Amino acid sequence: MDTSPRTPHRLDPAGGCPHADNARLLERGAVAAVVLPGEVEGVAVLGHEALRDFLAHSEVAKGAAHFTALREGRIAPGWPLATFATVRGMTTADGDDHRRLRSLVSKAFTARRVEELRPRVEELTAELLDDLDRAAGRDGGVADLRRHFAMPLPMGVIGELLGVDAEHRERLHQLSNQVVATDIGPEKALAANRELVAVLTAVAAARGERPGDDLTSALIAAHDEDGGRLSQEELIGTLVLMIIAGHETTLNLLTNAVRALCGHRDQLRMVLEGEASWADVVEETLRWDAPVSYFPFRYPVRDLTVDGTVIPRGTPVLAGYSAAGRDPAAHGPDADRFDVTRPARPDAVRHLSLGHGAHYCLGAPLARMEATIALERLFARFPDLEPALPESALVRHSSFVGNSVRALPVRLGAARG
């Protein structure tokens, strides 16, 4: 059992590339003490096997009632990570509450329902590729792929799925960015959360007056049934979670995949020549450069030993997805190499970047479909696409939760088709 004193790793609220720090921490062990913003003590589980076990452990909870520092009033108002702990929804629920909330949303993400969305994803992808081409034409041949393609695709899909009118989507994206930021001040954090709730409350009110064939209308119907199967707070909390998770993860996945392929042209050539699939690109990107780096929070309900390290009851624990994806103990000595032909692990768990256990990402099939279609169509049309700036010049997310860059200016090259 590890009882040696070690200086906790101070997570940088400004974010930055996580991989160098992850490698250093993994050399010390699969579990690391960390300091969160506001001098809050926490733990990150970094090793693949340790994280897999921890995510599925029966004595690990998601509900904020188990967060000792929060329960004891030691978390200041406006703490940048508060939403991850306190929003009411399936990601902060346990047991019967979690099953009830998840069942209400899961109908929108069945394999059949996701496949029904394919024509719309393909149509929207084609429209956005035209927009990207026009943007590059206006700006000297350079366009921000993140702004014109990687963001509006998943935001458009989740917006339509939820029944969010188009005029709200750009603002919801901006507010989501602020909610997941870890370097934001208390006043801005509180204001962003208030506005996000206000916008989604207005969306819910509109759908309540004019129900449609969308998930928000279905959730409102569930709220109205059985004396309130879904409370108003749970309804809005679910919408908050769906908007953020429904586009931020896929946005980062697409951005990171394009960066990876442009930085490994040999890998891109293999895919374009049919030696690997676009699905392989998506899975290797999820492993190699996970769209979420450190996801908050889980709490042991008793003192819990994980890979020889005791995590005290009520400690806020981060899931270190970006670290687990490059853990040499799980993925071999070349774990830090991007390789679209990498064979699957024998246990079929290629990576943990979309979670594991009861809280595995409901939207994973949709995210995979969106990313596969988007990447295939993007490089079919613009096979010579390349970043307009070197990797070292790209500005990172202001968050240690999300893992990507703020903008990805690209030169499209000659279009085909």
Give residue-wise pLDDT tens across range 354-400.
Answer: 999 999 999 999 999 999 999 999 999 999 999 999 999 999 989 99
Residue 33: burial class (beta carbons within 10 Å; 0-12, 13-18, 19+): middle
Q: What are phi and psi of 307, to 5 degrees?
A: 50, 45
Which among 216, 210, 246 has a CA at the least distance from the CA of 234? 216
pLDDT at 10: 95
Calculate helix-pair angle for 118-138, 364-381, nearest 10 degrees. 40
pLDDT at 5: 41
Each residue of 281-293: pLDDT tens digit? 999 999 999 999 9
How far, in Å, CA of 143 to CA of 387, rounded? 10
Which segments in the chain show pLDDT lower than 70?
1-6, 223-228, 417
Q: Per DSSP, what are the bridge partners of residue 305?
A: 310
Do the beta carbons of residue 180 and residue 396 sit within 8 Å?
no
pLDDT at 343: 85
Neighbour-count burial for 231-267, b at 16+ CB within 10 Å, e otherwise: eeebbbbbbbbbbbbbbbbbbbbbbbbbbbbbebeeb
Residue pointed to by tokens 């970006």: 322
Characterise 137 by phi-psi region: left (phi > 0), alpha (psi -120 to 50), beta (else): alpha
pLDDT at 415: 75
Do the beta carbons of residue 101 and residue 89 sit within 8 Å?
yes
Which among 172, 145, 96, 75 has a CA at the least distance from the CA of 375? 145
Do the beta carbons of residue 332 and residue 56 sit within 8 Å?
no
How far, in Å, CA of 142 to CA of 152, rounded? 18
CA dist 62 to 85, 103, 170, 313, Å?
A: 8, 17, 30, 13
The answer to whether the Cα torsion of 77, 82, 85, 86 is positive or negative is: positive
Give the chain's largest Cα–Cα span. Answer: 62
